[in-house]
Amino acid sequence: MGALRLPSLTSIFAVSSARSSLFHRRSNQLHLRKLTSATRVTAKSTTPATTEAAPAESTTQKLPVQEQGITPRSQDFNAWYLDVIAMAELADYGPVRGTMVIRPYGYAIWEAIQDYLNVKFKETGHSNMYFPQFIPYSFIEKEASHVEGFSPELALVTVGGGKELEEKLVVRPTSETIVNHMFTQWIHSHRDLPLMINQWANVTRWEMRTKPFIRTLEFLWQEGHTAHATPEEAEKEAMQMIDVYTKFAYEEAAIPVIPGRKSRVETFAGANRTYTIEAMMGDRKALQAGTSHNLGQNFSRAFSTQFTDENGQRQHVWQTSWAISTRFVGGIIMTHGDDAGLMLPPRLASVQVVIVPIWKKANEKNEVLDAALSIKDILHSAGIKVKLDDSDQRTPGWKFNFWEMKGVPLRIEIGPRDVSSRSVVVSRRDIPGKPGKVFGISMEPSVLVPYVKEKLDEIQLSLLNKAISFRDSNIVDVTSYDELKEAISQGKWARGPWVGSDEDELKIKEETGATIRCFPFEQPQGPKMCLMTGSPAEEVAIFAKSY
């Protein structure tokens, strides 16, 4: 596949001022009538990763200006990522440093994530509710490791209704403290347990180094919070929810995450144990894509969240919390995208099939559009998310490239000859060029609908399998620190036996940039020696550089 698949963008950008924004130029260009559909490869300079800096508040930061479409992924992964977000109109920078506007096409991915998880949360016995986002500062201070973990990142409201507040308020970075404050009012007896709730909300963490979707000052997430009568139940719940996340990642997002336990160093501020799903991005950096915490009694002791057990004794509850955020959208982009742009797994795509009608002469237009519309209706009735791009402002070639850049899994092309033969051409986003193109698929609903569904399923599976191969070919089993360093320096993940200390772990981070991503649940059999200390080890850990 060519590095650049949006030739018309390139040709327009060449004449535009270097100062005008990408958005401005694309917007103008979308309406030009005559666009070539030839595919050219154009060299382009590397776009500086401007987002990694931390400018002052209220800047008018823009996504990178570029002259020639999407930066090739292999050339500069970060620039490619920002280009895809800009050109596919997934997000934009907000006016306040580090904030992000999630645009409709990006928000639709988040809505698809919500739709799936919301059902799973309810099936596993959780109810949605909503807690206020303003938390008294004193609450944050109650749990010692929690305040240590979060206090550097807090946004504080100090003025309300024109008056200085007596107690400053924290804009929630997470809700364990206020949840416990309320739980004390709702939990009295063991019969009130388990209490299992979830909320969809925005949260704020004053991050210095931000990147759209991956790390933003404000982000959207769901946070589950549960209280149980026994530590066993809390552990079971924490494991159940990391399992829900794992299934979601594999089955819906086609991301082969590795579920496992965090090291002590990487455990959530306030948790006894943190479970995680770790995903390998296209640049082989790890992304922590979801976490589930066994909080033990840390918060219940800090807030006196107690219940009377069956023997009439007062006990502190055992708790969990778990979250997935809009960061996951970034994970989808960085797992499946390629030089042509975004590639969406069919199950999370808001447009699964785009229909591009093709005509040359005016007398062909009506019959082609009629057929295209009828195909749209057929697929829509079958529950397939389909879009007909019937604009006559753009050429078919331009549309092919545009919808590939937007990551639509399947394209149906239909021209005058297809209408005559009552058939269509179907092209897969994941297989570029001719190999991904099949001619002569009948328009008959009894043929077309099952064919399209089968192809979408195939693409879903193919994306997963490709990501599994990529992941597995980039994880190296190591038995010594030297081997670990070698693997990390090659940009790979290192997996090796570990019983090192927290200090050993921090030393590795300092010397290699890698951290323990997790102790994976799936462990190799047989005796093992710690790669660092040489002592007998019970588990392997996975080390990698991460976002």
Site string for a second copy, 487-526 (x = CB under 8 A): ----------------------------------------
Binds a second copy by CB under 8 A, chosen from 48, 125, 132, 491: 132
Binds a second copy by CB under 8 A, chosen from 4, 135, 289, 384: 135
Smallest gap from Cβ 104 to a second copy, in A, equals 4
Count other C-beta atoms under 10 Å from residue 532's C-beta.
20
**Which is closer to a second copy, CB of 108 or CB of 289?**
108
Query: In terms of DSSP bridges, do strands 493-497 and 475-477 run parallel, antiparallel, or are they unpaired?
Result: parallel
Binds a second copy by CB under 8 A, chosen from 50, 124, 133, 479: 133
**Which is closer to a second copy, CB of 201 or CB of 279?**
201
Task: Locate 491 and state its tokens.
Answer: 């940009």
Quick check: 32 binds a second copy (CB under 8 A)?
Answer: no
Quick check: 178 binds a second copy (CB under 8 A)?
Answer: yes
Query: What are the start-end ranges of the E strands in 317-422?
Result: 318-325, 353-357, 386-388, 410-414
Smallest gap from Cβ 265 to a second copy, in A, equals 22
Quick check: 315 binds a second copy (CB under 8 A)?
Answer: no
**Which is closer to a second copy, CB of 83 or CB of 339?**
83
Closest CA to 282 of 325, 324, 327, 343: 343
Site for a second copy in 368-427 (CB under 8 A): 393
Quick check: 23 binds a second copy (CB under 8 A)?
Answer: yes
Smallest gap from Cβ 45 to a second copy, in A, equals 23
Smallest gap from Cβ 450 to a second copy, in A, equals 27
- Report yes or no: 151 and 135 within 8 Å, Cβ to Cβ: no
Binds a second copy by CB under 8 A, chosen from 6, 12, 84, 154: 154
Collect all residues with Cβ–Cβ distance below 8 Å to 513 and sequence separation of at least 6: 488, 545
Rounded CA gap, 286 and 365, in Å? Answer: 49
**Which is closer to a second copy, CB of 189 or CB of 465?**
189
Rounded CA gap, 262 and 342, in Å? Answer: 30
**Which is closer to a second copy, CB of 210 or CB of 246?**
210
Site for a second copy in 203-242 (CB under 8 A): 204, 206-208, 217-218, 220
4-12, 25-33, 403-411, 451-459 -> range binding a second copy (CB under 8 A): 25-33
The single residue listed with the structure tokens 């589930």 is 292
177-185, 229-237, 251-259, 441-449 -> range binding a second copy (CB under 8 A): 177-185
Closest CA to 339 of 72, 6, 118: 72
- Report yes or no: 289 and 279 within 8 Å, Cβ to Cβ: yes
Element housing 450 (H / E)? helix 445-472
Binds a second copy by CB under 8 A, chosen from 41, 49, 165, 382: 165
Smallest gap from Cβ 187 to a second copy, in A, equals 8
Binds a second copy by CB under 8 A, chosen from 141, 192, 233, 364: 192
**Which is closer to a second copy, CB of 170 or CB of 414?**
170
Rounded CA gap, 389 and 414, in Å? Answer: 11
Element housing 280 (H / E)? strand 273-280
Task: Locate 84 and state its tokens.
Answer: 């895809």
SS3 call for 182: helix
Site string for a second copy, 76-115 (x = CB under 8 A): ----------------x-xxx--xxxxxx-xxx-xx----
Task: For residue 19, give the DSSP letter.
Answer: T
Rounded CA gap, 320 and 237, in Å? Answer: 7
What does residue 416 show for φ and ψ, rounded to 5 degrees? -60, -40
- Report yes or no: 114 and 350 within 8 Å, Cβ to Cβ: no
